[in-house]
Amino acid sequence: MNKHLWKSQLTPYEADYALWCAEQGAILREGRLSDIDRENLAEEIESLGRSQEDEIESRLNVLVMHLLKWRYQAERRTPSWQATIIEQRMRIAKRLKASPSLKNYPASVLDEEYVTARLRAAGETGLSEAIFPESCPFAIGQILDAAFFPEER
């Protein structure tokens, strides 16, 4: 990257995102703060934090759905369900380790994620939605506990 880019030569955010990112990184490294695209850069940094939350929500949803399937369709349990449960727990734990400020985030979104996980579990199992409790039958500690696998109901 040319260390002597003039502001007028910088790529607009909307024109080429990858090039814009590379240019903004170079500008930061060079300490040319007056040339920074402040608004778009601030938006991008904030979206990085939101993406961490989105990942936790998605993984929690998949995890809860598989725990429901594990409990309510015990006769169809597969090693792949177990592997999915283990993987989602590990990936959530990894994300929480990297961002300790999100430690309580899974608990704060559990009720919301349960609604979708319940619908997905019903759809994937072919069981009536009424089979699954209206509120999550698992505590967040159980959900994230590597040793927890719910027994059949």
In sequence order, the 6+-apart residues with CB closer than 8 A to the CB of 105 are: 53, 56, 96
Is the whole-model pTM more than 0.85?
no
Q: What is the mean pLDDT of the chain?
A: 94
Over residues 4-26, the pLDDT tens digits come to 555 558 999 999 999 999 999 99
Over residues 69-83, the pLDDT tens digits come to 999 999 999 999 999
Task: List helix spans (H) across 79-104.
Answer: 79-98
User: Is residue 124 pLDDT above 80, yes or no?
Assistant: yes
Over residues 24-34, the pLDDT tens digits come to 999 999 999 99
Identify the burial level of 110 via C-beta atoms within 10 angstroms of its C-beta, where 0-12 means exposed, 13-18 middle and 19 or more buried: buried
> What are the CA-CA distances from residue 121 to residues 3, 114, 146 (Å)?
54, 10, 21
Domain positions in the chain: 51-144
Segment 87-95 mean pLDDT: 98
**Do residues 40 and 58 lie in contact, with contact meaning Cβ atoms separated by under 8 Å?**
no
